[in-house]
Amino acid sequence: MSEVIRIKKGLDINLKGKAQEVSAKAEASDLFSVRPDDFHGIKPKVVVHEGDAVKVGTVLFYSKTNPELKFVSPVSGEVLAVNRGDKRKVLDIRLKSDRQFTSESFPKGRPSEMTSENVKETLLNAGFFAFIKQRPYDVIADPNDCPKAIFISGFDSAPLAPNYEYLLVGREEDFQLGIDALAKLTKGKIHVGINAEVSSNLYTHTKGIEIHQFLGPHPAGNVGVQIHHIDPINKGDIVWTINALDVAMIGAAFKTGQISFARSIVLNGASVKNPAYYKMTVGECISNIVANNIVGDNVRYISGNPLTGTQIPADGFLGAFDAQITVIPEGDKNDEMLGWIMPRLNKFSVSRSYFSWLLGRKKEYNIDTNLNGGQRAFIMSGEYDKVFPMDIYPEFLVKAIIAKDIDKMEQLGIYEVAPEDFALCEFVCTSKIETQRIVREGLDYLRKELA
């Protein structure tokens, strides 16, 4: 087994509402949505119209700049609508499922016995390439590139994150076939980061990967942190990343000869009555799994985790890359007696401002969405450094992005980061700076200027 890489900087946020490893059932929804915004870095060209019949794997749109990149339907049924916004921007393609999940054809077989070109073409035609991301820039990977390596995080350390070991139990063959397919896309190594505190039969018995153990607080499970400690990205380097669940999804298609975007997800959070794991499909409406299972009326629904997820309505849809639906209280109550002067044993504090830190990190907190203050001047306080486990100066990088200073951005390591790497910085920031949004804008600006 590889040497343990210890992550000392970071922060574990222990929230109420964690799901036990039990599966629950809910009626599958008829409504699905595919959002081009989920696939950052592409300009969509829609090829379907209202009323068109589709199968699982039918192309809905492709990238204008790279027509090889196809984005497909997760269900069989019909197209209800192509919704557009300002300047005819495609907001989403709404689908109605026939609940049959009839698939387009897919070549059943072993990827290890196929050529690299055949594997790539197969993944492109089935829409699986849309789930591979590229760094730098954290965008959908360009199939014309050959990455120096592919990185997979085998665990998620974010608050209330699902247990990958539970989600992938019994899917060892699927995962292996997915790895065999990815191995055809790079001449380099496939790196898998695992949790050193968990014994994993899934990853340790998988062939063709290099395993790295990580120990420490969040964001130890972020693939960007793992890349930084294994093989940092320099200017000109290209690496690809993919979620472990999507690796198994690719492998299952090769095993069965059927395209499927079904996955197990976790519904949890302090506002959920019975947190549990559910079977869902990418883009599925969440209304059925949250019905009669929510405490309180004023809550926030999030596709993803509380730090990096996307706010959705109660009848919203599961994001393309998400395996988690989080429901937490809205933070619109500010009528606390004496305000910040109170000792607050039930309030989470990073800086030990409240006595709650005496109760230890095992205490669970019911944290709402309240910012506890408004945006103010950007204070260089060193707060980011305490939770940012890369050899990068995060505050200086954020300021360089705001100033659009490309030279400084490059010198300060922008090629290594993605917005999710700054989620904890945003959480602890006393200035209430939206660091994830700023980093996203900086990456887009850099990509545009250097294209």
pLDDT at residue 378 is higher than 70: yes
Token couple for 200: 């994993």
Task: State residue 342's pLDDT score.
Answer: 67
Find out whether 151 and 226 touch, Cβ atoms under 8 Å.
yes
Under 8 Å CB-to-CB from 59, ≥6 apart: which residues? 47, 48, 70, 71, 72, 127
pLDDT per position as a tens digit, 409-435:
999 999 999 999 999 999 999 899 999
Share of the chain above pLDDT 70, in %: 96
DSSP calls for 97-115: E-S--PBPB---S-GGGS-
Under 8 Å CB-to-CB from 236, ≥6 apart: which residues? none
**Bigger pLDDT: 315 vs 336:** 315
64-92 average pLDDT score: 97
pLDDT at residue 332 is higher than 80: no
With CA atoms as reference, report the closest residue to 230 among 246, 210, 216, 247: 210
Task: Give the whole-angstrom CA distance, residue 138 versus residue 37.
Answer: 13
Task: State residue 129's pLDDT score.
Answer: 97
Task: State residue 337's pLDDT score.
Answer: 65
CA 204, 207, 212, 216 torsion: positive or negative?
negative
With CA atoms as reference, report the closest residue to 229 among 390, 374, 342, 61: 390
At residue 338 the predicted structure's pLDDT band, cuts being 50, 70 and 90, is: low
Proportion of the chain in helix, strand, coil states, percent, rounded to 5: 30, 20, 50
Task: Give the whole-angstrom CA distance, residue 240 versus residue 106.
Answer: 24
DSSP code for 19? P
Find out whether 160 and 83 touch, Cβ atoms under 8 Å.
no
Task: Give the whole-angstrom CA distance, residue 383 versus residue 158.
Answer: 19
246-265 average pLDDT score: 97
pLDDT at residue 340 is higher than 70: no
Under 8 Å CB-to-CB from 341, ≥6 apart: which residues? none
- Indicate yes or no: pTM above 0.85: yes
Task: Give the whole-angstrom CA distance, residue 148 versus residue 141.
Answer: 13
DSSP calls for 145-204: ---SEEEEES---STT---HHHHTTT-HHHHHHHHHHHHTT-SSEEEEEEETTS--HHHH
pLDDT at residue 119 is higher than 80: yes
Task: State residue 339's pLDDT score.
Answer: 61
**Bigger pLDDT: 49 vs 373:** 49
Ordered by where they begin, the domains of the chain are 1-26+104-332 (no CATH), 31-97 (2.40.50.100), 343-359+370-451 (no CATH)
pLDDT per position as a tens digit, 384-401:
999 999 999 999 999 999
**Bigger pLDDT: 311 vs 349:** 311
At residue 379 the predicted structure's pLDDT band, cuts being 50, 70 and 90, is: confident
Token couple for 150: 């592919």
At residue 357 the predicted structure's pLDDT band, cuts being 50, 70 and 90, is: low
309-328 average pLDDT score: 98
Find out whether 157 and 220 touch, Cβ atoms under 8 Å.
yes
Task: Give the whole-angstrom CA distance, residue 261 versus residue 249.
Answer: 7
